Amino acid sequence: MSKLNLLPLQYRTEIHDLVFFFKCFKNMYNLDILDFVSFRTCKKPLRKIDYLTLNVPFSRTESFKNSYFIRVCRSWNELPLNIRESNTLSVFRKKLFAYFYDKFSANFFIVIILFFNMSLEQFLTTIVDKSPWNTYAI
C-alpha cells in the first residue's frame, strides 16, 4: 500500500470527515457547524487546550459514540495546531495527508517489529541490508 500511496480505510474516512468539518467551519457549505459543536474555553491557559479545541459531547451509548460529531471532535482535537490553523482547503488537505502518512508509516513499522519479534536494531539492519539503494549489501 505504501508504493501506491494508499492509506488504510480507517485513515481515509477520518480524512474525509475532517475535510468536511473544515469546509463547514470555513463556511464553504451553507451549514452552521457551531450549532452542533462548540469550542472549549478556559479561564486559565492549559497545555493541551488551545482556542481551536472542541468540546467532545458526553455519550452514553456505543452508537452515539460512533456518530459523526463525536468522531470529528476527537479527530479534530488530535490534530496538531498548525494543521487546524490552516486558512485554505488546499493547505489543510496537504498538511492533513502528510500527518496521516507519517502516522501510518510510524504505526506500520511498529507493527512489523512486533509481528516479527525483532529489536529495533535488528529491524534497521534488515532494512539497510535488503535496501536496493545499498550498493555494499552482501
| Integer Cα distance of 58 and 38 in angstroms | 13
| Integer Cα distance of 125 and 113 in angstroms | 12
Using alpha carbons, select from 75, 79, 93 the residue that is nearest to residue 23. Answer: 93
Query: In sequence order, which residues have a C-beta less than 8 Å from that of residue 116 and are 6 or more positions away?
Result: 123
Q: What is the pLDDT of residue 93?
A: 93
Cell of 85: 490553523
Cell 505504501 locates to 2
| Integer Cα distance of 75 and 11 in angstroms | 10
Q: pLDDT (tens digit, 0 to 9) for every residue of the chain, 138 residues total?
A: 555 567 777 888 899 999 999 998 888 988 887 788 877 766 666 565 666 778 777 777 877 778 888 888 888 888 988 898 899 999 999 999 888 888 877 666 666 666 666 666 666 666 555 444 444 444
| Integer Cα distance of 38 and 25 in angstroms | 11
Q: What is the pLDDT of residue 52?
A: 77
